[in-house]
Amino acid sequence: VDHYLANASRSKILPSVAALRKEMLTDKNTALAKYEANTFDARPLNDPRFDSVVVIYTGEGSLGSGFFVKPDTVLTNWHVVEDSKFVGMKLYDGQETFGRILVSDVRLDLALIKVQSRGKPVQFYKEKKLDLGKTVEAIGHPKGLNFSITRGVISAIRKGQGFGQPKQSGRVLAPRSVGGDEVLYIQTDASINAGNSG
């Protein structure tokens, strides 16, 4: 009542319920526009790459990164999932889902996950060479700071020891042992921390 009395001079008679609804809708749209104009949204909607990235939760308090290579398949590092059969995931739009580990390669430190939800597959670089000094970006979740992006350059491309032991008789021996087969590494100065893996 006090609010009405304070604003009584602004009141007007509306001819019908339809006119009242129209007035209420106009007020609502004006209020929503004002709210949106004063609200900061941290989602970089102009960067569609985030829609291909997921947070991977192993259930042991740690997390890693992954990205869609097919609408229902995510690629990540083996050391993110290790011997897990299932992992929880969160997409950039906030949707939570889970996935089942399809296959993994300790030597290349890679794992494929079949996902319950669907996502936008990442676009792969298709050139045959990488130039030193070329700008690169790393998207991930460093130290639990979900969906972060860092930038750097390609510092070098070199061969080095893989993650596990060399293959013997068609099988891989104990994971995390020193002396894996030689693989190609891309060295970068883009900041990468625990949580970026994947």
Of 52, 65, 104, 197, the active-site residue reads 197
Sequence-separated (6 or more) residues with CB below 8 Å from residue 72: 114, 115, 117, 118, 119
Known active-site residue 109: yes
pLDDT of 92 over the 60 cut: yes
Known active-site residue 79: yes
Backbone angles phi, psi at 150, to 5 degrees: -125, 155
Of 51, 79, 148, 181, the active-site residue reads 79
Mean pLDDT of the 128-151 span: 90
pLDDT of 171 over the 50 cut: no
Judge contact between 78 and 105, C-beta under 8 A: yes
Of 65, 84, 104, 109, the active-site residue reads 109
pTM of the model: 0.67
- Gap between the Cα atoms of 62 and 79, Å rounded: 11
- Gap between the Cα atoms of 118 and 51, Å rounded: 11
pLDDT in tens, 98-130: 899 999 988 788 999 999 889 999 988 888 888
Between 28-42, 59-73, 177-191, the lowest mean confidence (pLDDT) is in: 28-42
- Per-residue pLDDT band for 195 (boundaries 50, 70, 90) equals confident
Percent of the chain with pLDDT over 70: 86
